[in-house]
Structure 1
Amino acid sequence: MDESKSSWIATLIALPIGIITATTSSIVLDISNFIDILIGAGGFTAAYIPSQNFLFNKQLNEYGLTRSEYSFIRNQLKEARTKVNRLKKSYINVRSLKDIKLVYDINRLVSTIHDAVEDDPKRFFGVQQFYHAHLDSAVNTVEHYLHLYKMPGKSKEERVKLHEARITLFEIMRSLESDVSIMNKSDYQALELEKKVVKKRRDRKIKQLGNTLHKEEVNLNKTTKTHEKEKVMQNEQKH
Protein backbone atom coordinates (compact mmCIF):
# COMPACT_ATOMS: atom_id res chain seq x y z
CA MET A 1 0.00 0.00 0.00
CA ASP A 2 1.79 3.17 -1.20
CA GLU A 3 0.03 6.49 -0.65
CA SER A 4 3.04 8.31 -2.11
CA LYS A 5 2.10 6.97 -5.56
CA SER A 6 -0.82 9.39 -5.88
CA SER A 7 1.36 12.21 -4.51
CA TRP A 8 4.09 11.60 -7.09
CA ILE A 9 1.64 11.51 -9.99
CA ALA A 10 -0.09 14.66 -8.72
CA THR A 11 3.32 16.35 -8.49
CA LEU A 12 4.11 15.41 -12.10
CA ILE A 13 0.78 16.93 -13.14
CA ALA A 14 1.05 20.09 -11.02
CA LEU A 15 4.73 20.94 -11.55
CA PRO A 16 4.44 21.93 -15.24
CA ILE A 17 1.34 23.97 -14.40
CA GLY A 18 3.23 25.81 -11.66
CA ILE A 19 6.14 26.53 -14.00
CA ILE A 20 3.83 27.74 -16.77
CA THR A 21 1.92 29.93 -14.30
CA ALA A 22 5.13 31.52 -12.98
CA THR A 23 6.49 32.05 -16.50
CA THR A 24 3.23 33.59 -17.72
CA SER A 25 3.15 35.89 -14.69
CA SER A 26 6.71 37.02 -15.41
CA ILE A 27 5.93 37.82 -19.05
CA VAL A 28 2.43 39.29 -18.74
CA LEU A 29 2.44 41.03 -15.37
CA ASP A 30 6.12 42.05 -15.39
CA ILE A 31 6.39 42.32 -11.61
CA SER A 32 9.01 41.13 -9.13
CA ASN A 33 10.46 37.63 -9.34
CA PHE A 34 9.31 36.93 -5.79
CA ILE A 35 5.68 37.58 -6.76
CA ASP A 36 6.11 35.42 -9.85
CA ILE A 37 7.37 32.58 -7.67
CA LEU A 38 4.41 32.97 -5.31
CA ILE A 39 1.98 32.92 -8.23
CA GLY A 40 3.72 29.82 -9.62
CA ALA A 41 3.49 28.15 -6.21
CA GLY A 42 -0.19 29.02 -6.10
CA GLY A 43 -0.70 27.46 -9.53
CA PHE A 44 1.16 24.35 -8.41
CA THR A 45 -0.96 24.05 -5.26
CA ALA A 46 -4.21 24.68 -7.15
CA ALA A 47 -3.36 21.83 -9.51
CA TYR A 48 -1.76 19.49 -6.96
CA ILE A 49 -4.51 19.32 -4.32
CA PRO A 50 -7.43 18.29 -6.57
CA SER A 51 -5.18 15.94 -8.57
CA GLN A 52 -3.89 14.24 -5.45
CA ASN A 53 -7.39 13.94 -3.97
CA PHE A 54 -8.77 12.50 -7.21
CA LEU A 55 -5.96 9.95 -7.55
CA PHE A 56 -6.10 9.01 -3.88
CA ASN A 57 -9.88 8.51 -3.98
CA LYS A 58 -9.47 6.42 -7.13
CA GLN A 59 -6.91 4.29 -5.31
CA LEU A 60 -9.27 3.86 -2.36
CA ASN A 61 -12.05 2.76 -4.70
CA GLU A 62 -9.73 0.16 -6.20
CA TYR A 63 -8.95 -1.09 -2.69
CA GLY A 64 -12.62 -0.97 -1.69
CA LEU A 65 -11.80 1.04 1.44
CA THR A 66 -12.92 4.27 3.09
CA ARG A 67 -10.42 6.93 4.17
CA SER A 68 -10.80 5.98 7.83
CA GLU A 69 -10.25 2.28 7.05
CA TYR A 70 -7.22 3.13 4.94
CA SER A 71 -5.76 5.31 7.68
CA PHE A 72 -6.29 2.60 10.30
CA ILE A 73 -4.72 -0.11 8.14
CA ARG A 74 -1.80 2.13 7.19
CA ASN A 75 -0.99 2.71 10.87
CA GLN A 76 -1.28 -1.00 11.61
CA LEU A 77 1.05 -1.86 8.74
CA LYS A 78 3.54 0.79 9.80
CA GLU A 79 3.74 -0.76 13.28
CA ALA A 80 3.91 -4.25 11.81
CA ARG A 81 6.76 -3.33 9.46
CA THR A 82 8.96 -2.55 12.48
CA LYS A 83 8.21 -5.99 13.92
CA VAL A 84 8.83 -7.71 10.59
CA ASN A 85 12.24 -6.02 10.37
CA ARG A 86 13.03 -7.12 13.93
CA LEU A 87 12.22 -10.69 12.99
CA LYS A 88 14.52 -10.51 9.95
CA LYS A 89 17.39 -9.34 12.15
CA SER A 90 17.00 -12.45 14.32
CA TYR A 91 19.16 -14.42 11.87
CA ILE A 92 22.31 -12.97 13.44
CA ASN A 93 21.51 -14.76 16.71
CA VAL A 94 20.94 -18.22 15.22
CA ARG A 95 23.50 -20.68 16.58
CA SER A 96 22.37 -24.03 15.16
CA LEU A 97 21.55 -25.40 11.72
CA LYS A 98 18.23 -26.84 12.90
CA ASP A 99 17.08 -23.36 13.95
CA ILE A 100 18.09 -21.68 10.69
CA LYS A 101 15.31 -23.40 8.74
CA LEU A 102 12.77 -22.78 11.50
CA VAL A 103 13.57 -19.06 11.66
CA TYR A 104 13.64 -18.89 7.85
CA ASP A 105 10.20 -20.53 7.54
CA ILE A 106 8.69 -18.18 10.11
CA ASN A 107 10.21 -15.15 8.37
CA ARG A 108 8.96 -16.37 5.01
CA LEU A 109 5.39 -16.79 6.23
CA VAL A 110 5.38 -13.44 8.03
CA SER A 111 6.78 -11.60 4.98
CA THR A 112 4.32 -13.35 2.67
CA ILE A 113 1.34 -12.17 4.69
CA HIS A 114 2.59 -8.65 5.32
CA ASP A 115 3.70 -8.02 1.72
CA ALA A 116 0.36 -9.30 0.41
CA VAL A 117 -1.58 -6.95 2.69
CA GLU A 118 0.63 -4.01 1.70
CA ASP A 119 -0.18 -4.74 -1.95
CA ASP A 120 -3.89 -5.25 -1.26
CA PRO A 121 -4.89 -3.52 2.03
CA LYS A 122 -8.39 -5.03 1.95
CA ARG A 123 -6.81 -8.38 2.87
CA PHE A 124 -6.05 -6.93 6.31
CA PHE A 125 -9.56 -7.65 7.57
CA GLY A 126 -9.13 -11.34 6.82
CA VAL A 127 -5.88 -11.69 8.78
CA GLN A 128 -6.41 -9.39 11.76
CA GLN A 129 -5.48 -12.27 14.06
CA PHE A 130 -2.03 -12.21 12.46
CA TYR A 131 -1.50 -8.51 13.19
CA HIS A 132 -3.08 -8.52 16.64
CA ALA A 133 -1.58 -11.74 18.02
CA HIS A 134 0.45 -14.08 15.82
CA LEU A 135 3.03 -11.54 14.64
CA ASP A 136 3.84 -10.40 18.18
CA SER A 137 4.07 -14.00 19.35
CA ALA A 138 6.43 -14.90 16.51
CA VAL A 139 8.75 -11.93 17.05
CA ASN A 140 8.91 -12.15 20.84
CA THR A 141 9.27 -15.93 21.02
CA VAL A 142 11.98 -16.07 18.34
CA GLU A 143 13.96 -13.27 19.98
CA HIS A 144 13.77 -14.73 23.47
CA TYR A 145 14.46 -18.28 22.29
CA LEU A 146 17.55 -17.32 20.27
CA HIS A 147 18.85 -15.04 23.02
CA LEU A 148 18.61 -17.77 25.66
CA TYR A 149 19.86 -20.50 23.33
CA LYS A 150 23.24 -18.81 22.87
CA MET A 151 23.74 -18.35 26.63
CA PRO A 152 26.42 -20.73 28.06
CA GLY A 153 26.14 -22.96 31.13
CA LYS A 154 22.48 -23.91 30.79
CA SER A 155 21.02 -26.28 33.36
CA LYS A 156 18.96 -29.34 32.48
CA GLU A 157 15.78 -27.49 33.44
CA GLU A 158 16.72 -24.56 31.20
CA ARG A 159 17.40 -26.88 28.26
CA VAL A 160 13.95 -28.43 28.78
CA LYS A 161 12.37 -24.96 28.72
CA LEU A 162 14.23 -24.13 25.51
CA HIS A 163 12.96 -27.35 23.95
CA GLU A 164 9.41 -26.40 24.94
CA ALA A 165 9.95 -22.93 23.47
CA ARG A 166 11.05 -24.51 20.19
CA ILE A 167 7.86 -26.59 20.14
CA THR A 168 5.94 -23.34 20.69
CA LEU A 169 7.68 -21.88 17.64
CA PHE A 170 6.40 -24.77 15.54
CA GLU A 171 2.89 -24.09 16.86
CA ILE A 172 3.28 -20.43 15.91
CA MET A 173 4.42 -21.48 12.44
CA ARG A 174 1.26 -23.58 12.03
CA SER A 175 -0.81 -20.55 13.06
CA LEU A 176 1.00 -18.48 10.42
CA GLU A 177 0.32 -21.16 7.80
CA SER A 178 -3.35 -21.00 8.78
CA ASP A 179 -3.26 -17.21 8.34
CA VAL A 180 -1.85 -17.66 4.84
CA SER A 181 -4.62 -20.12 3.99
CA ILE A 182 -7.29 -17.73 5.27
CA MET A 183 -5.73 -14.86 3.33
CA ASN A 184 -5.70 -16.89 0.10
CA LYS A 185 -9.23 -18.27 0.54
CA SER A 186 -10.83 -15.60 -1.64
CA ASP A 187 -8.21 -16.20 -4.35
CA TYR A 188 -9.00 -19.91 -4.41
CA GLN A 189 -12.71 -19.10 -4.57
CA ALA A 190 -12.06 -16.79 -7.52
CA LEU A 191 -9.99 -19.52 -9.17
CA GLU A 192 -12.78 -22.05 -8.67
CA LEU A 193 -15.31 -19.62 -10.10
CA GLU A 194 -13.09 -19.02 -13.12
CA LYS A 195 -12.79 -22.78 -13.64
CA LYS A 196 -16.59 -23.08 -13.63
CA VAL A 197 -16.90 -20.23 -16.13
CA VAL A 198 -14.33 -21.84 -18.44
CA LYS A 199 -16.09 -25.23 -18.14
CA LYS A 200 -19.45 -23.63 -18.88
CA ARG A 201 -18.05 -21.93 -21.99
CA ARG A 202 -16.41 -25.16 -23.11
CA ASP A 203 -19.63 -27.15 -22.62
CA ARG A 204 -21.57 -24.50 -24.53
CA LYS A 205 -19.13 -24.67 -27.44
CA ILE A 206 -19.26 -28.47 -27.44
CA LYS A 207 -23.06 -28.32 -27.46
CA GLN A 208 -23.06 -25.78 -30.29
CA LEU A 209 -20.61 -27.92 -32.24
CA GLY A 210 -22.79 -30.99 -31.61
CA ASN A 211 -25.88 -29.13 -32.84
CA THR A 212 -24.01 -27.98 -35.94
CA LEU A 213 -22.81 -31.49 -36.71
CA HIS A 214 -26.33 -32.85 -36.17
CA LYS A 215 -27.79 -30.30 -38.58
CA GLU A 216 -25.14 -31.12 -41.17
CA GLU A 217 -25.88 -34.84 -40.72
CA VAL A 218 -29.61 -34.23 -41.16
CA ASN A 219 -29.00 -32.14 -44.27
CA LEU A 220 -26.67 -34.81 -45.63
CA ASN A 221 -29.32 -37.50 -45.05
CA LYS A 222 -31.93 -35.38 -46.76
CA THR A 223 -29.64 -34.81 -49.72
CA THR A 224 -28.83 -38.51 -49.94
CA LYS A 225 -32.50 -39.49 -49.82
CA THR A 226 -33.31 -36.91 -52.48
CA HIS A 227 -30.63 -38.30 -54.79
CA GLU A 228 -31.84 -41.83 -54.20
CA LYS A 229 -35.42 -40.80 -54.93
CA GLU A 230 -34.34 -39.10 -58.14
CA LYS A 231 -32.49 -42.24 -59.24
CA VAL A 232 -35.56 -44.38 -58.55
CA MET A 233 -37.73 -42.04 -60.59
CA GLN A 234 -35.21 -42.06 -63.44
CA ASN A 235 -35.15 -45.87 -63.44
CA GLU A 236 -38.95 -46.04 -63.49
CA GLN A 237 -39.07 -43.64 -66.43
CA LYS A 238 -36.60 -45.81 -68.37
CA HIS A 239 -38.75 -48.91 -67.85
Structure 2
Amino acid sequence: MKYNISHWFASMVSIPVAIVAGLASMIAFDIHLVYDMLIAAGGFFAAYFPSQSYSMKSHLREMGITKSEYKYVKTKLGEAKEKIRRLRKNYKNVRTLKDAKLIYDINRIVRTIYTSVEDNPKLFFGVQQFFHSNLDSAVNTIEQYLYLYKMPGKSKEEKVKLHETRISLLELKRTLQSNLSAMNRSTYHSLDVEKEVIKLNRKRSEGPLRLDNELEKQKVNMDKKEKEPVKADRGEKNEGRK
Protein backbone atom coordinates (compact mmCIF):
# COMPACT_ATOMS: atom_id res chain seq x y z
CA MET A 1 0.00 0.00 0.00
CA LYS A 2 1.09 3.55 -0.55
CA TYR A 3 0.78 4.13 3.20
CA ASN A 4 4.14 2.39 3.63
CA ILE A 5 5.48 5.83 2.76
CA SER A 6 4.90 6.65 6.42
CA HIS A 7 7.82 4.36 7.29
CA TRP A 8 10.05 6.18 4.80
CA PHE A 9 8.95 9.53 6.16
CA ALA A 10 9.66 8.44 9.74
CA SER A 11 13.08 7.10 8.72
CA MET A 12 14.00 10.35 6.97
CA VAL A 13 13.16 12.24 10.15
CA SER A 14 14.75 9.76 12.56
CA ILE A 15 18.13 9.21 10.88
CA PRO A 16 19.26 12.87 11.19
CA VAL A 17 18.03 12.89 14.80
CA ALA A 18 20.08 9.76 15.55
CA ILE A 19 23.19 11.24 13.95
CA VAL A 20 22.85 14.48 15.90
CA ALA A 21 22.21 12.59 19.17
CA GLY A 22 25.26 10.37 18.62
CA LEU A 23 27.57 13.27 17.77
CA ALA A 24 26.28 15.31 20.70
CA SER A 25 26.98 12.38 23.03
CA MET A 26 30.50 11.96 21.68
CA ILE A 27 31.33 15.67 22.01
CA ALA A 28 29.53 16.56 25.22
CA PHE A 29 29.88 13.44 27.36
CA ASP A 30 33.03 11.84 25.94
CA ILE A 31 31.99 8.36 27.09
CA HIS A 32 32.45 4.91 25.59
CA LEU A 33 31.52 4.48 21.90
CA VAL A 34 28.98 1.80 22.79
CA TYR A 35 27.02 4.27 24.91
CA ASP A 36 27.20 6.85 22.13
CA MET A 37 25.69 4.32 19.75
CA LEU A 38 22.97 3.46 22.26
CA ILE A 39 22.12 7.14 22.63
CA ALA A 40 21.99 7.49 18.84
CA ALA A 41 19.68 4.46 18.62
CA GLY A 42 17.49 5.91 21.36
CA GLY A 43 17.25 9.18 19.43
CA PHE A 44 16.30 7.28 16.29
CA PHE A 45 13.43 5.39 17.92
CA ALA A 46 12.32 8.43 19.90
CA ALA A 47 11.84 10.31 16.63
CA TYR A 48 10.69 7.35 14.49
CA PHE A 49 7.56 6.23 16.30
CA PRO A 50 5.88 9.66 16.68
CA SER A 51 6.76 10.58 13.07
CA GLN A 52 5.46 7.28 11.71
CA SER A 53 2.27 7.53 13.75
CA TYR A 54 1.64 11.12 12.64
CA SER A 55 2.24 10.29 8.97
CA MET A 56 0.00 7.21 9.13
CA LYS A 57 -2.84 9.11 10.80
CA SER A 58 -2.59 11.86 8.17
CA HIS A 59 -2.87 9.35 5.32
CA LEU A 60 -5.75 7.47 6.94
CA ARG A 61 -7.60 10.72 7.68
CA GLU A 62 -7.16 11.71 4.05
CA MET A 63 -8.72 8.45 2.88
CA GLY A 64 -11.46 8.41 5.50
CA ILE A 65 -10.72 5.04 7.14
CA THR A 66 -9.65 4.04 10.64
CA LYS A 67 -6.46 2.26 11.68
CA SER A 68 -8.34 -0.95 12.47
CA GLU A 69 -9.98 -0.89 9.03
CA TYR A 70 -6.58 -0.34 7.44
CA LYS A 71 -5.12 -3.36 9.26
CA TYR A 72 -8.10 -5.49 8.21
CA VAL A 73 -7.76 -4.47 4.55
CA LYS A 74 -4.01 -5.09 4.69
CA THR A 75 -4.62 -8.62 6.00
CA LYS A 76 -7.13 -9.37 3.23
CA LEU A 77 -4.75 -8.01 0.60
CA GLY A 78 -2.02 -10.30 1.90
CA GLU A 79 -4.33 -13.30 1.54
CA ALA A 80 -5.44 -12.18 -1.92
CA LYS A 81 -1.83 -11.75 -3.08
CA GLU A 82 -1.10 -15.43 -2.45
CA LYS A 83 -4.29 -16.47 -4.28
CA ILE A 84 -3.40 -14.29 -7.28
CA ARG A 85 0.03 -15.95 -7.38
CA ARG A 86 -1.69 -19.33 -7.55
CA LEU A 87 -3.96 -18.04 -10.29
CA ARG A 88 -1.02 -16.94 -12.43
CA LYS A 89 0.67 -20.33 -12.10
CA ASN A 90 -2.26 -21.94 -13.94
CA TYR A 91 -1.04 -20.67 -17.31
CA LYS A 92 1.36 -23.62 -17.60
CA ASN A 93 -1.59 -26.05 -17.48
CA VAL A 94 -3.64 -24.37 -20.25
CA ARG A 95 -4.24 -26.60 -23.28
CA THR A 96 -6.43 -24.46 -25.59
CA LEU A 97 -6.38 -20.87 -26.83
CA LYS A 98 -9.93 -20.17 -25.67
CA ASP A 99 -9.05 -21.29 -22.14
CA ALA A 100 -5.89 -19.18 -22.25
CA LYS A 101 -7.93 -16.09 -23.19
CA LEU A 102 -10.54 -16.79 -20.51
CA ILE A 103 -7.94 -17.19 -17.76
CA TYR A 104 -6.07 -14.14 -19.01
CA ASP A 105 -9.25 -12.04 -18.79
CA ILE A 106 -9.99 -13.31 -15.28
CA ASN A 107 -6.42 -12.61 -14.19
CA ARG A 108 -6.57 -9.10 -15.62
CA ILE A 109 -9.81 -8.24 -13.78
CA VAL A 110 -8.56 -9.76 -10.53
CA ARG A 111 -5.26 -7.89 -10.75
CA THR A 112 -7.04 -4.60 -11.50
CA ILE A 113 -9.27 -4.92 -8.42
CA TYR A 114 -6.31 -5.88 -6.23
CA THR A 115 -4.07 -2.99 -7.30
CA SER A 116 -6.94 -0.49 -7.04
CA VAL A 117 -7.67 -1.52 -3.44
CA GLU A 118 -3.94 -1.55 -2.69
CA ASP A 119 -3.70 2.08 -3.81
CA ASN A 120 -6.97 3.11 -2.14
CA PRO A 121 -7.97 0.79 0.77
CA LYS A 122 -11.34 2.50 1.12
CA LEU A 123 -12.45 0.82 -2.12
CA PHE A 124 -12.26 -2.55 -0.34
CA PHE A 125 -15.61 -1.99 1.34
CA GLY A 126 -17.32 -1.78 -2.06
CA VAL A 127 -15.90 -5.12 -3.27
CA GLN A 128 -15.86 -7.28 -0.12
CA GLN A 129 -17.61 -10.10 -1.98
CA PHE A 130 -14.62 -10.31 -4.30
CA PHE A 131 -12.17 -10.85 -1.43
CA HIS A 132 -14.45 -13.08 0.64
CA SER A 133 -15.75 -15.49 -2.01
CA ASN A 134 -15.32 -14.63 -5.70
CA LEU A 135 -11.53 -14.75 -5.73
CA ASP A 136 -11.54 -18.11 -3.94
CA SER A 137 -14.04 -19.48 -6.43
CA ALA A 138 -11.92 -18.31 -9.36
CA VAL A 139 -8.71 -19.86 -8.02
CA ASN A 140 -10.20 -23.19 -6.95
CA THR A 141 -12.39 -23.69 -10.02
CA ILE A 142 -9.63 -22.86 -12.51
CA GLU A 143 -7.13 -25.14 -10.76
CA GLN A 144 -9.54 -28.10 -10.74
CA TYR A 145 -10.77 -27.43 -14.29
CA LEU A 146 -7.29 -27.32 -15.81
CA TYR A 147 -6.12 -30.33 -13.80
CA LEU A 148 -9.04 -32.47 -15.00
CA TYR A 149 -8.90 -31.11 -18.56
CA LYS A 150 -5.38 -32.44 -19.15
CA MET A 151 -6.28 -35.93 -17.86
CA PRO A 152 -6.44 -38.51 -20.71
CA GLY A 153 -9.23 -41.01 -21.32
CA LYS A 154 -12.14 -38.82 -20.24
CA SER A 155 -15.63 -40.25 -20.57
CA LYS A 156 -18.52 -38.46 -22.24
CA GLU A 157 -20.01 -37.49 -18.89
CA GLU A 158 -16.69 -36.09 -17.72
CA LYS A 159 -16.39 -34.01 -20.89
CA VAL A 160 -19.91 -32.65 -20.30
CA LYS A 161 -18.98 -31.71 -16.72
CA LEU A 162 -15.86 -29.91 -17.92
CA HIS A 163 -17.93 -28.03 -20.47
CA GLU A 164 -20.39 -27.00 -17.76
CA THR A 165 -17.47 -25.90 -15.57
CA ARG A 166 -16.17 -23.69 -18.36
CA ILE A 167 -19.62 -22.08 -18.63
CA SER A 168 -19.47 -21.48 -14.88
CA LEU A 169 -16.10 -19.77 -15.36
CA LEU A 170 -17.64 -17.48 -17.97
CA GLU A 171 -20.38 -16.58 -15.48
CA LEU A 172 -17.71 -16.00 -12.83
CA LYS A 173 -15.91 -13.66 -15.21
CA ARG A 174 -19.09 -11.59 -15.56
CA THR A 175 -19.43 -11.54 -11.77
CA LEU A 176 -15.86 -10.25 -11.43
CA GLN A 177 -16.65 -7.57 -14.01
CA SER A 178 -19.63 -6.58 -11.86
CA ASN A 179 -17.32 -6.33 -8.85
CA LEU A 180 -15.04 -4.04 -10.84
CA SER A 181 -17.94 -1.87 -11.95
CA ALA A 182 -19.22 -1.60 -8.38
CA MET A 183 -15.77 -0.53 -7.21
CA ASN A 184 -15.56 2.20 -9.88
CA ARG A 185 -19.12 3.48 -9.41
CA SER A 186 -18.13 6.30 -7.07
CA THR A 187 -15.32 7.34 -9.44
CA TYR A 188 -17.74 7.54 -12.36
CA HIS A 189 -20.07 9.62 -10.19
CA SER A 190 -17.22 12.02 -9.42
CA LEU A 191 -16.47 12.18 -13.15
CA ASP A 192 -20.08 13.20 -13.88
CA VAL A 193 -19.83 15.93 -11.24
CA GLU A 194 -16.63 17.26 -12.82
CA LYS A 195 -18.29 17.29 -16.25
CA GLU A 196 -21.16 19.36 -14.88
CA VAL A 197 -18.72 21.79 -13.29
CA ILE A 198 -16.89 22.17 -16.61
CA LYS A 199 -20.18 22.88 -18.42
CA LEU A 200 -21.17 25.43 -15.79
CA ASN A 201 -17.81 27.20 -16.02
CA ARG A 202 -18.05 27.26 -19.81
CA LYS A 203 -21.48 28.87 -19.67
CA ARG A 204 -20.19 31.47 -17.24
CA SER A 205 -17.23 32.26 -19.48
CA GLU A 206 -19.49 32.55 -22.55
CA GLY A 207 -21.90 34.88 -20.73
CA PRO A 208 -19.77 38.08 -20.91
CA LEU A 209 -18.94 37.36 -24.56
CA ARG A 210 -22.63 37.14 -25.48
CA LEU A 211 -23.32 40.35 -23.57
CA ASP A 212 -20.52 42.15 -25.42
CA ASN A 213 -21.87 40.93 -28.77
CA GLU A 214 -25.38 42.15 -27.94
CA LEU A 215 -24.04 45.57 -26.86
CA GLU A 216 -22.04 45.80 -30.09
CA LYS A 217 -25.15 45.01 -32.17
CA GLN A 218 -27.15 47.65 -30.30
CA LYS A 219 -24.40 50.20 -30.92
CA VAL A 220 -24.38 49.43 -34.66
CA ASN A 221 -28.17 49.79 -34.88
CA MET A 222 -28.02 53.14 -33.08
CA ASP A 223 -25.35 54.40 -35.49
CA LYS A 224 -27.52 53.44 -38.46
CA LYS A 225 -30.54 55.28 -37.04
CA GLU A 226 -28.47 58.43 -36.50
CA LYS A 227 -27.17 58.41 -40.08
CA GLU A 228 -30.56 58.02 -41.80
CA PRO A 229 -31.97 61.56 -40.98
CA VAL A 230 -28.76 63.15 -42.21
CA LYS A 231 -29.17 61.57 -45.63
CA ALA A 232 -32.78 62.73 -45.82
CA ASP A 233 -31.86 66.36 -45.00
CA ARG A 234 -29.25 66.41 -47.73
CA GLY A 235 -31.79 65.20 -50.29
CA GLU A 236 -34.27 67.97 -49.37
CA LYS A 237 -31.62 70.68 -49.73
CA ASN A 238 -30.72 69.48 -53.26
CA GLU A 239 -34.40 69.66 -54.32
CA GLY A 240 -34.71 73.22 -53.00
CA ARG A 241 -31.76 74.38 -55.09
CA LYS A 242 -33.32 73.06 -58.26
TM-score, normalised relative to structure 2: 0.91
> Which blocks of at least 5 consecutive residues in structure 1 are unaligned?
none
- State the Cα deviation string for residues 47-93 of structure 1 (Å, max 9, x = none): 11111111111111222111111111111111111111110111111
| Separation in structure 2 between the aligned mates of residue 142 and residue 2 of structure 1, nearest angstrom | 31
| Separation in structure 2 between the aligned mates of residue 78 and residue 124 of structure 1, nearest angstrom | 13
1:178 paired residue number: 178
- State the Cα deviation string for residues 157-176 of structure 1 (Å, max 9, x = none): 11111111111100100101
Change (3 A) 1:213 1:34: same
Which deviates more from structure 2 when the two are superposed, residues 66-75 or residues 203-212? 203-212
- State the Cα deviation string for residues 86-132 of structure 1 (Å, max 9, x = none): 10111111122221111111111111111111111111011111111
| Separation in structure 2 between the aligned mates of residue 46 and residue 230 of structure 1, nearest angstrom | 92
Change (3 A) 1:46 1:227: farther
What amino acid does structure 2 have at the position aligned with 1:57? K
Following superposition, the deviation at residue 228 of structure 1 comes to: 5.8
Considering only aligned residues, what root-mean-square deviation do their CA atoms show, in Å? Answer: 2.1
| Separation in structure 1 between the aligned mates of residue 224 and residue 156 of structure 2, nearest angstrom | 96
Following superposition, the deviation at residue 217 of structure 1 comes to: 2.5
| Separation in structure 2 between the aligned mates of residue 77 and residue 46 of structure 1, nearest angstrom | 31
Superposed, 1:47-196 pairs within 5 Å as 47-196=47-196
| Separation in structure 1 between the aligned mates of residue 42 and residue 111 of structure 2, nearest angstrom | 43
| Separation in structure 1 between the aligned mates of residue 231 and residue 30 of structure 2, nearest angstrom | 103
| Separation in structure 2 between the aligned mates of residue 226 and residue 36 of structure 1, nearest angstrom | 96
Secondary structure (helix, strand or coil) at the match of 1:148 reads: helix
| Separation in structure 2 between the aligned mates of residue 197 and residue 235 of structure 1, nearest angstrom | 59
1:204 paired residue number: 204
| Separation in structure 2 between the aligned mates of residue 216 and residue 2 of structure 1, nearest angstrom | 57
1:216 paired residue number: 216
Following superposition, the deviation at residue 226 of structure 1 comes to: 4.9
Q: Percent identity?
A: 50
- State the Cα deviation string for residues 12-51 of structure 1 (Å, max 9, x = none): 1110110111011101111111111111111111211111
Following superposition, the deviation at residue 206 of structure 1 comes to: 2.0
Change (3 A) 1:168 1:225: same
What amino acid does structure 2 have at the position aligned with 1:110? V
Change (3 A) 1:235 1:137: same
| Separation in structure 1 between the aligned mates of residue 160 and residue 89 of structure 2, nearest angstrom | 26
Secondary structure (helix, strand or coil) at the match of 1:95 reads: coil
2:27 paired residue number: 27
> Which blocks of at least 5 consecutive residues in structure 2 are unaligned?
none
TM-score, normalised relative to structure 1: 0.92
What amino acid does structure 2 have at the position aligned with 1:72? Y
| Alignment length (residue pairs) | 239
| Separation in structure 2 between the aligned mates of residue 230 and residue 29 of structure 1, nearest angstrom | 104
Following superposition, the deviation at residue 230 of structure 1 comes to: 7.4
What amino acid does structure 2 have at the position aligned with 1:46? A
Runs of 4+ in 1 over 3 A off after TM superposition: 219-237
Following superposition, the deviation at residue 187 of structure 1 comes to: 1.5
